[in-house]
Chains A and B, each alone.
Chain A
Amino acid sequence: MNPFFAIWKKLAGSRVGRSIFRVGLPESSLGRAQAMVSSFLLHVHPAKVHRHSLKFSYTFGLGLISIYLFLILFVTGVLLMFFYVPSTDRAYSDMKDLEFVVSTGVLLRNMHRWAAHLMVLAVFLHMCRVFYTAAYKPPREFNWIVGVCLFVLTLVLSFTGYLLPWDQLAFWAITVGTNIAGYAPVIGEKIKFVLLGGNTVGDSALLRFYVLHVIVLPGAALFLIAIHIWRIRKDGGLSRPDEPDNVLQQIETGSMPTNKSYGLMELAKGTSPAVGINPEDQVSAWPHLIFREILLFMATLAVVLFISLIWNAPLEELANAVHPPNPAKAPWYFLGLQELVAFSAFWGGVVVPALLLVALITLPYLDFKRRGVGVWFSRERKVAITIFTICVVAAVILTVIGTYFRGPNWDWVWPWKEQIVITH
């Protein structure tokens, strides 16, 4: 027997171990089910999980990665809060102190910054995954909407955090970003005023963004994440094809005996895993799901650590309201929007994003026939896939253009050519 396993077994089975975990290291199917159900942290999982849900190439773990990044952001964010005062007098010098005198301050800030960017990316890719596998179709329509809200929340969370370092990058990105919000008819200027606590980015804007960033938005996100996960359980686990057997060949789950036993938690509504599903396709969540989840967390943490050790989060000059950089750019995930605004403030800044949001929210109610569910790029959904792909490609292209191909006065530049830098 593996020596690690022996130690582990001994620890989990000891008096203290049992008092914490209730059951020892599970050795039977019953034990595996009990391990899941009797643990507060594990009981959001089913006791048994469908083999298809474990297939990495189906989900790429994007939803979990998003949650893990959120967790990393939460922990590093709380630590950063110990060193930060949201006032225009102190914010910037607090950044400097973090860099120069706080132990691991640079690493903390880097991890927070890069995890935030990665989370925007992961959530976006997760949404694409859900679309391309038609996972938003009944009974998961509402969870798609919760997901869209979480996507928007992620963007706003990242955006509010962008201002906090109070450097030129932060100040002008937020100025540009809130100006885009101001283009909305009738209420645009009002929204901008409420967001900034004034007409320009200043002390009150910094305080508002801070409160939103550290309390309001994470709280809202946490609430929605809880609903999002709870709905996954209630809607019968992850989406999968109606006849998944033929796509399961590649999944290795080892020689786990299947005793055809059901956990109590699996007694759910009509679409639950317990109904119409062959128990042969089920494997114990312990260890197959749990171990994979832990491994994915370790991988995510490793990537964030690696990036943070190599690249430093940017910090430019102290914010200066009379010296706009040229061009002043919004955060990268809004540069597609800024590019559209450069063409037309009203169409690009209001109509297109509003239409996109409405389209995303109404999607599961317009496209509700259960065709191609659980299959990547199903041939039965050519039209939907084409439209969505065009939107995604357009968004990516616009973002790339806004990021790399726009120079002073928003003129076209070739990123590989040397830029004329106007210095004073």
Chain B
Amino acid sequence: MDSLQKYYPWFGFLGLVIGVLIIVGYFKDEFREWKQWQHEYIEQEISRATTPELKELAQTIPLEIRQIVLPESRRVDRCTTCHIAVEDPGYAGYKQPLAYHPNHDQHPFEKFGCTICHLGQGRATDRDAAHGRVKHWEQPMLPKNYIEASCAKCHTATDIPGAPMLARGRELFEEQGCIGCHKLDGFGSSIGPELDKIGAKRSPQWLAQHFKIPREVVPGSGMPPVKLKELDIEALTLFLLGQTGEPLSEYFLSMKILPAPEVGQRIFVQRGCLGCHSIGGTGGKVGPALDGVTKRRSTDWIVQHFREPAAVSPGTVMPRYDFTESEIRALTAFLVSLSETDVIGFLKVLQPATPEERGKSVYRKYGCAGCHGPTGKGGVPNPNAKTNQQVPPLMAEGDMADIFIESYITEGVQEIAKMNSNGPQPPLYMPAWEGKISEGELADLVSYLHTLASE
């Protein structure tokens, strides 16, 4: 039997090696960062317990992966595995990950999860991977100072409470005339790239740097540097970070409209309510005037009336408009506000402006300022353009005949004359606005341009 003996050391050795490897594998798998945090949470719960019963209950909290499953938006957020106390106000002021998450009443976790606003990798259960700060994960967590960007995924209004930076960013985007070169939501020209999904592609650092010195991040870029204060650059960056083009689930879409008076007012004007109803004497006479409507009717009545006019007002001629529930809430908020605030502010919005004033907003709407400057003084660099390597001012155009200015706007100037005929084509050119700008807008714009010449 000694012939068998010589194999024993080998069996012993290899068996030991495999055994050790399996044990190492087991412990490697068994030790997970999140367990440590849950232990700490349970300890806290036990020490915070006021009665023996609560203490006993706290001791039975299981160690487990916690997750919010959102099949509609194809997300599984396991953030609450470590951030286990986000919903418990008792943990306000605690250190992460055990801190309480304030202000989430409007966005309940079980409906929204975490990553829709904060980004990062919801499925991950260790810190670096979950926060998205690992190779091969394209969406690291949004830095706190940019968090308002996520509001723009759903909310298109400019007046989201608690998102002043986003509002400022949107304002700057219009003021700076970005859409003079870029397209957003199908609106704008195509000198520069489309911005619909820019937020999903670029990092905050990239965007901010690109505004300051475009050529540094995109060699050969024709984009003129955006000359703004640091905080405004941040606001503009934040606005673009929100433009992710992410398809939203039905639930989020239905939540899009805020029940705010300003939003209701916009819907009120858009849906043509003034055709029948009047406010402060302005509007149609078919339906009753709506000033102080809340003195006559309860809020419930108004809501019901929007849903099904005939149900609360038999024989009414008002048709059913199929408003969504959130639109109804916004419209109701607006009507309520009418009896609380003065209606003069509202009427001012409805006042028809002069053609010149309207032209100014057209100038802004189409992003003309992006190249021609906010007041048409030009000066934006356009390398190798014959006109002093700059986009020319618009003062001279103001003196020209209307028809000439109009054709200049509708047809554009694709070939900009070069300063050095052997040099490269100047990157900026005048796009053709034919088909994008309406007749009325064009006439108003021309009126506005005339005012520039006289200045």
B-binding residues in A (CB < 8 A) = 1-2, 4-5, 27, 89, 93, 96-97, 99-101, 103-104, 106-107, 167-168, 252-256, 287-288, 291-292, 294-295, 298-299, 301-302, 305-306, 308-309, 315-317, 424
Contact = CB atoms under 8 A, between A and B. Distances in A.
Contacts of A107: 25, 28-29
A302 B8 contact: no
- In which size bucket is the chain B interface? 35 or more
A101 B65 contact: yes
Interface in B170-213: 201-202, 206
A304 to B, nearest CB: 9
Contact of A309 (B21, B121, B125, B129): B21
24 contacts: A5-B4, A27-B1, A93-B76, A96-B121, A97-B123, A100-B78, A101-B65, A103-B29, A104-B25, A106-B29, A167-B136, A252-B6, A255-B3, A291-B4, A291-B11, A298-B11, A298-B14, A301-B18, A302-B14, A302-B18, A309-B21, A317-B136, A317-B137, A317-B138
B90 interface: no
Interface string B1-40: 1111111101100110110011011101100000000000
A172 to B, nearest CB: 14
A315 to B, nearest CB: 7
B348 interface: no
Nearest to A252: B6
A5 B18 contact: no
A281 B296 CA distance: 113
Contacts, number: 87
Nearest to B29: A104
A255 B406 CA distance: 108
Contacts of A27: 1
B136 A316 contact: yes
Contacts of A287: 3-4, 7
A100 B14 contact: no
A2 B3 contact: no
A289 B391 CA distance: 87
Given A101-B65, A167-B136, A306-B21, 8 more contacts: A5-B1, A96-B124, A100-B124, A100-B126, A101-B123, A253-B3, A302-B14, A424-B206
A170 to B, nearest CB: 12
B201 A424 contact: yes
Nearest to B1: A5
Q: Which 5 A-B pairs have the closest CB atoms?
A: A254-B3, A298-B14, A305-B21, A96-B123, A100-B125
Looking at A2, A101, A301, A306, the one whose CB has the most chain B CB atoms below 10 A away is A101
Task: Classify the interface of chain B: helix, strand, loop or mixed.
Answer: helix
Contacts of B229: none
A309 B28 contact: yes
Contacts of B136: 167-168, 315-317
Given A295-B14, A302-B21, A2 B8 contact: yes
Contacts of B3: 253-256, 287-288
A1 B1 contact: yes
A424 B126 contact: no
Looking at A96, A287, A301, A315, the one whose CB has the most chain B CB atoms below 10 A away is A96
A148 B125 CA distance: 45
B8 A298 contact: no
B29 A254 contact: no
Nearest to A9: B1
Interface string B71-106: 000101010000000000000000000000000000
Looking at B4, B10, B78, the one whose CB has the most chain A CB atoms below 10 A away is B4
B15 A93 contact: no
Given A101-B78, A101-B125, A254 B25 contact: no
A287 B7 CA distance: 9
Nearest to B34: A100
A365 B7 CA distance: 41
B4 A309 contact: no
A298 B5 CA distance: 18
Contacts of A298: 11, 14-15, 17-18
Nearest to A306: B21
Contacts of A100: 78, 123-126, 129
A99 B124 CA distance: 8
Contacts of B11: 291, 294-295, 298
Looking at A1, A27, A302, the one whose CB has the most chain B CB atoms below 10 A away is A302
B35 to A, nearest CB: 13
A419 to B, nearest CB: 14
Contacts of B74: 89, 93
A309 B22 CA distance: 9
Given A5-B4, A302-B14, A424 B65 contact: no
Contact of B7 (A167, A291, A301): A291
A309 B8 contact: no
A256 B3 CA distance: 7
A176 B61 CA distance: 51
B193 to A, nearest CB: 12
A291 B132 CA distance: 49
A302 B7 contact: no
